[in-house]
Amino acid sequence: MRLRKASALAASVLALSLAATACGSGDDEGGSEGGSGGGDSITIGIKFDQPGLGLQTPDGDYAGFDVDVATYIAGELGYEPDQIEFVESPSGDRESMLQRGDVDFIVATYSITEEREQQVSFAGPYFLAHQDLLVRAGETVSSPDEINELTLCSVAGSTSAQNVQNDFAPDAQLQEMGTYSECLTGLENGAVDALTTDDSILAGYASQEVNQGKFELAGLELSDEYYGVGIPKDDTELQQQINDAIQSMVDSGAWQEAVDANLGPAGYENEPAPEIEAAS
């Protein structure tokens, strides 16, 4: 199976990781004891259509904050960038992909929820985002009450879609699409009033060169979304290994470097790295 190279920033982040952990990163053949390490390659689920987070570029490479986090973790597990196979992980398929063993772990704006923890486990969290709305430039939504009057678009299987229906806007019309790119097209042509998902994802779309000046965030913090690394249910050994890798990325400064490089162009002000939960 053909392997893709990671983004340039991801490679540099990985280099920092390997330099910092050279004394304890395992043997020359790569991999780590236990968990998913130790093979010739590692398969990681990411998003392919989220600018600034997980994006497949026209030349077949991958770029974004989640890509950099995934690459750093893989490095701590003993894998070089060219040993990583990235696989697209749509929101509605993430649990089944982990359960079937299609991927070793998933780094794909994957919010930790009690419902999901019934089916899979999480390492982290590694990022805190807030649900918001993306609207056309010049339009405003000043309060959650106004959302009930809108036609919203989100991705099927996402916590954002569930939050709309269950929490803050049960009367809003909700269209669920397969990808956020489809929602963005609907927003641009007037088929929907707003795209709703995490502010980090929205900032990535708004900062794309082709979209600059077309859209803006409403600035509503509608929920707290803690992104975790999805892993097979009850794999506590892998969970601890990934937790250690995330902490190393934060402590080294590589985490903030990746945030600034990928989301900074949109003027996005991130929350500090969240406290990592103990493996259980």
Give the integer Cα–Cα distance in Å for 84 and 119: 25
Non-local CB neighbours of 68 within 8 Å, separated by 6+ positions: 6, 7, 9, 10, 13, 254, 258, 261, 262
Structure confidence at residue 233 (pLDDT): 98
What's the DSSP call for residue 6? P
Q: Do domains 8-127+226-266 and 130-224 have the same CATH topology?
A: yes
Band of residue 240 on the pLDDT scale cut at 50, 70, 90: very high
Question: What CATH architecture applies to the domain 130-224?
Answer: 3-Layer(aba) Sandwich (3.40)
For residue 265, pLDDT beyond 80: no
Structure confidence at residue 118 (pLDDT): 97
- Predicted TM-score of the model (pTM): 0.78
Question: What CATH architecture applies to the domain 8-127+226-266?
Answer: 3-Layer(aba) Sandwich (3.40)
- Residue pair 231/91 in contact by the 8 Å Cβ criterion: no
- Residue pair 179/88 in contact by the 8 Å Cβ criterion: no
For residue 26, pLDDT beyond 50: no
Task: Look over the chain and give the mean of its residue pLDDT values, rounded to a whole number.
Answer: 86
The residues spanned by each domain of the chain are: 8-127+226-266, 130-224
- Most confident region among 5-9, 16-20, 246-250 by mean pLDDT: 246-250
Q: Specify the amino acid at residue 70.
A: A
Parallel, antiparallel, or unpaired for β 49-50 and 42-46?
A: unpaired
Q: Of 238, 228, 200, 245, which is closest to residue 110 (Cα–Cα)?
A: 228
Question: What digits encode the pLDDT tens for the residues 214-226?
Answer: 998 898 989 899 9
